[in-house]
Amino acid sequence: MKQYYRLEFYVPASQASLVKNAVFETGAGRLSHYDHCSWETAGKAQMMIPGAPGQLGSLRTSEEIKVEMIVAEDCLEDAVNAVIARHPSEQPVLCYYPVGIAFPPDDDNEEE
């Protein structure tokens, strides 16, 4: 049985399709007979932009999308690299962790 991961990342709403499509191109988001599967949640990001030394920074907010998708282990490194390469931020926020997924027996056979 394949090991799957849940990949989550945050991206500005205006760039969500661009980043998602780059990640889908790696094979991420495939579940059984379905492709390009993801879940999106709209929200507002908040961050403090550093100020000059000795001064407070400025608080900024932006409309962002949280994207979640399932990624097979053999696609995980490429999927993470795609987020990093296509994301507009200098340091994208992303995480991944292993999950257990049960498919019908013939839908998830490892290639021998």
Domain definitions of the chain by residue range = 4-100
Q: What is the pTM of this model?
A: 0.82
State the average pLDDT for the chain: 89
Overall fold of domain 4-100: Alpha-Beta Plaits (3.30.70)
Supply the pLDDT for residue 112: 43
Chain Cα centroid distance, residue 6: 8
β-sheet with 4-12: strand ranges across: 39-49, 58-72, 4-12, 94-99
Supply the pLDDT for residue 97: 96
Residue 106 pLDDT > 70, yes or no? no
Supply the pLDDT for residue 1: 74
Q: Residue 84, by phi and psi: left (phi above 0), alpha (psi -120 to 50) or beta? A: alpha
With residue 66 as reference, give the H or E element that holds it: strand 58-72
Q: Cα–Cα distance between 27 and 30 in angstroms, integer? A: 7
Helices and strands per DSSP (H, E), number in the chain: 2, 4
Residue 99 pLDDT > 60, yes or no? yes
Residue 14 pLDDT > 90, yes or no? yes
How do strand 58-72 and strand 4-12 relate by DSSP bridges?
A: antiparallel
Supply the pLDDT for residue 101: 77
The predicted model gives 23-44 an average pLDDT of 95
Supply the pLDDT for residue 104: 60
List, for residues 34-84, the tens digit of each pLDDT value.
Answer: 999 999 999 999 988 887 777 778 888 999 999 999 999 999 999 999 999
